[in-house]
Amino acid sequence: MRPKISVLLPTFNEAENIERCISGVIQIFKNIEYEIIVIDDNSPDGTWAIVEKMHESNSRVKIIRRMTEKGLSSAIVSGMSIAEGEYFLVMDADLQHDETVLPQMIQKLEEGCDVAVGTRYANGGSTGSWNLIRKLLSIAANKFTQFILPIRITDPMSGFFALKREIFFRTGDRINPRGFKILLEILGRAGNGIKIGEIPFHFKNRLHGETKINNSIARSFLITVLDLRFGKWISSTFLLYSLVGLSGVIVNLFGFVLFESIGVKDLATGFELLPIFPSSVFFGIELSIISNFILNNYFTFYENRYKRWDAIRGFLIFSGVSALGIFVQLGIFELLFYKALPRMGMEPRFELRLFCDLVAISVAMFTNYFLNSNFTWLNAAKGQQ
């Protein structure tokens, strides 16, 4: 008989947790037609072997052992693609999600909700004893999502949820299975008409194994949100790049003001091309090159990043590319401040220098964008293969 409920358990190195987790679910659903699908990415600790063993005595416990694919969201998509139930239920296999609320989730779906979300942020829910940083990050990610996207639930980041099978098959082909935020993808793409129910639960502490959340996941979360909101118009990598660029402008101006206030003098060079060298503009640029490289390497182009000592090579290439930008910026500044302004009869005041530098920075940024995305970090990815 076709199962009513498909419970999807993504696992990576959960050998110490998986058996108890599955037994807990079986207890809860003993009177319902269910199937449990574990999607394991060939865990080195042999999680898959434990599930294969359980399958021998209970054929409702199934395993997908993925050999080449990796990642939580894509694991859930793999599971849902073969799930036979009317309702899909996703939960962590590390005992942090409370299986006793599963019947309430199913209840919500029976009552007409399309999606039921286990929430840590409504009355009756909690996050357990996370450290302060994790708590703040989680709250910030939540607020940011609610600000950018029209999703009005208290915990759009939750990894504990249930949905009707047609919701998955309606959105599945557009889901970008990156990172951890599968629920967000589904909700973001399902359209406004869907009905969402929330069930508070206490997020338990991990007893065995460790979390797989890391920097690249925080980054892919940001990309997911930006992509859902602006993806139609502009690539999210470009948006991250612009964010870094924007921070670079601030650093650049900060450096400029700093060195102006120290009283660094402009230099006469004797070159026809650049007769006067504005030193404080130059130091502002150098400071921003350093911060831009660090941020782009570990954020914008994380997947293509230069690793360890190779980062020095990357920095040199980035500096080389930026050198062109420096000349563009210096040239534009020179043109505006020393040629255009005097011709317009304006006094060389500080505010005008600031304005000229701002315009010069903007032009240089565009040249740099193009070269870095097409050369510097493509180069990194090739060099490390």
Interface ranges with ligand GDD (CB under 6 A): 10-12, 14, 39-41, 70-72, 75, 92-94, 96, 138, 157, 159, 180, 211-213
User: Which residue from 6, 11, 47, 96 is in contact with Mn ion, where contact means CB under 5 A?
Assistant: 96
197: three-class secondary structure by DSSP: strand
Q: Which residue, 131, 134, 130, 152, is CA-closest to 143?
A: 152
d(CA 152, CA 341): 52
Cβ-based nearer residue to Mn ion, 157 or 332:
157
Q: Output the smallest distance, CB 142 to Mn ion, in A.
A: 17
Q: Choosing among Mn ion, ligand GDD, none, which partner's interface includes residue 75 (Cβ < 5 to 8 Å by kind)?
A: ligand GDD
Report in angstroms how near the CB of residue 209 gets to Mn ion at its nearest: 8
- Count, residues near Mn ion per rule CB under 5 A: 3
Q: Which two tokens stand for residue 108?
A: 């919500």
Q: What is the CA radius of gyration of the chain?
A: 27
Nearer to ligand GDD, 93 or 251 (CB): 93
CB of 155 to Mn ion, least distance (A): 15
SS3 assignment, position 369: helix
Q: Is the dihedral of CA 276, 281, 282, 285 positive or negative?
A: negative
CB of 244 to ligand GDD, least distance (A): 25
Which residue, 204 or 229, has its beta carbon nearer to ligand GDD? 204
CA distance 5 to 88: 6
> Which residue, 81 or 205, is less far from Mn ion as judged by CB?
205
Q: Which is nearer to ligand GDD, 51 or 295 (CB)?
A: 51
198 binds, among Mn ion, ligand GDD, none (CB under 5 to 8 A by kind): none
C-alpha angle 271-275-280 in degrees, rounded to nearest 5:
120
Contact (Cβ atoms closer than 8 angstroms) between residue 226 and residue 179: no
| Cβ-closest position to ligand GDD | 159
Beta bridge partners of 8: 37, 90
Question: Vertex 258, ends 252 and 259: CA angle to 5°?
Answer: 95
Q: How far is the CB of 109 from Mn ion (least distance, A)?
A: 24
Nearest-approach distance from CB 255 to Mn ion, in angstroms: 42
Nearest to 203 by CA among 276, 143, 111, 124: 124
Per the CB < 8 A criterion, the answer to whether 14 and 209 are in contact is yes
* 94 lies in the site for Mn ion, by CB under 5 A: yes
Residue 145 near Mn ion by CB under 5 A: no
**In this chain, which stretch among 92-100, 175-183, 217-225, 369-377 interacts with Mn ion, using CB under 5 A?**
92-100
Total H helices, total E strands in the chain: 14, 9
Residue 72: name its binding partner from ligand GDD, Mn ion, none (Cβ under 5 to 8 Å by kind). ligand GDD
With CB cut-offs between 5 and 8 Å by kind, which of Mn ion, ligand GDD, none does residue 14 bind? ligand GDD
Residue 101 phi/psi, 5-degree rounding, is: -90, 0
Residues of the shown chain interacting with Mn ion in the complex, contacts defined by CB under 5 A? 92, 94, 96
